[in-house]
Amino acid sequence: MNATVLNTSAQAPSEAANDRFVELRGVTKSFGQLQILGGVDLTVRKGEVVAIIGPSGSGKSTLLRCINQLVRVDGGRIWVDGELMGYRQQGNRLYPLKAHEVLKQRTEVGMVFQSFNLFPHMTVLENVSDPPNVIKGVPKAAARATAERLLSEVGLLEKASAYPASLSGGQQQRVAIARALAMDPKVMLFDEPTSALDPELVGDVLDTMRKLAQSGMTMLVVSHEIRFVKEAADRVVFMADGGIVEQGRPDIVLANPSHERTKRFLGRLL
């Protein structure tokens, strides 16, 4: 399986960079005996919002983690903006990138987690300003100014000097979005961003994500918020058992799924 993937052209995704802004080819991943991803192909246009839905254990989260290199793929390749993630390809050989090169690639891919994972010992402002300051060497004052602008965009500027523990889950998640945006990423990955929230707090987070989508950010969103998928996503991808079962425009796939597996899943969800 690996060999066939590697023999395809390495340069293909750069031909029409904006149509293949994020490109996954034959991505496989197993944990021990358990196969999580069984050769996933996915292409995302620049500025496209792709919602990924599917039953738990279908590999949605692992897919996002592969893109951000939190998980090392077993086979296949991933490109973001024409750049091969994690490896340098020479002929049909893939050489692992050096640690600092991987870090640079990670800064280009923003990630928002289900459990927010803000840094509890830093204020809200520091959570957003510290990464660009420390990682990219942006001067402190500039990083703070950017952080303040981002916080006001997510509606939380007045919480700048508070610590995360004093914020509601919805507020924390919006700070987490601002923190990811502070690194000026090319792509934003959302791993079930509203699953850990009380129902009345979901709306603010989804509004923030909707605004981000309208601003032209390329987004991959694992979410079961059907209203968000319908209204904000350009495409919905249904995954099951480590593969993509079907994908298409949300209004079509959600209303009229063509696969039995999708029908059953949506029937339980709606």
Which positions touch other proteins (CB under 8 A)? 68, 70, 99-100, 103-104, 106-107, 111, 113, 115, 117-123, 130-131, 134-135, 161-166, 179-180, 183
Least distance in angstroms from the C-beta of 109 to other proteins: 8
Least distance in angstroms from the C-beta of 79 to other proteins: 18
Q: Any idea which residue has 């830093």 for tokens?
A: 122
- Residue nearer to other proteins on the CB measure, 64 or 229: 64
- Residue nearer to other proteins on the CB measure, 186 or 261: 186
Contact status, residue 46 vs residue 218, Cβ threshold 8 Å: yes
- Residue nearer to other proteins on the CB measure, 197 or 229: 197
Helix boundaries (H) for the chain: 2-7, 60-67, 99-107, 124-135, 140-153, 169-181, 199-214, 226-232, 250-255, 260-269
Which DSSP category does 97 fall into? P
- Residue nearer to other proteins on the CB measure, 123 or 247: 123
Least distance in angstroms from the C-beta of 66 to other proteins: 12
- Residue nearer to other proteins on the CB measure, 160 or 209: 160
Least distance in angstroms from the C-beta of 100 to other proteins: 7
The phi and psi torsions of 23 (rounded to 5 degrees) equal -135, 125
Nearest to 228 by CA among 65, 53, 8: 53
Least distance in angstroms from the C-beta of 120 to other proteins: 5
Which DSSP category does 218 fall into? E
d(CA 186, CA 208): 17
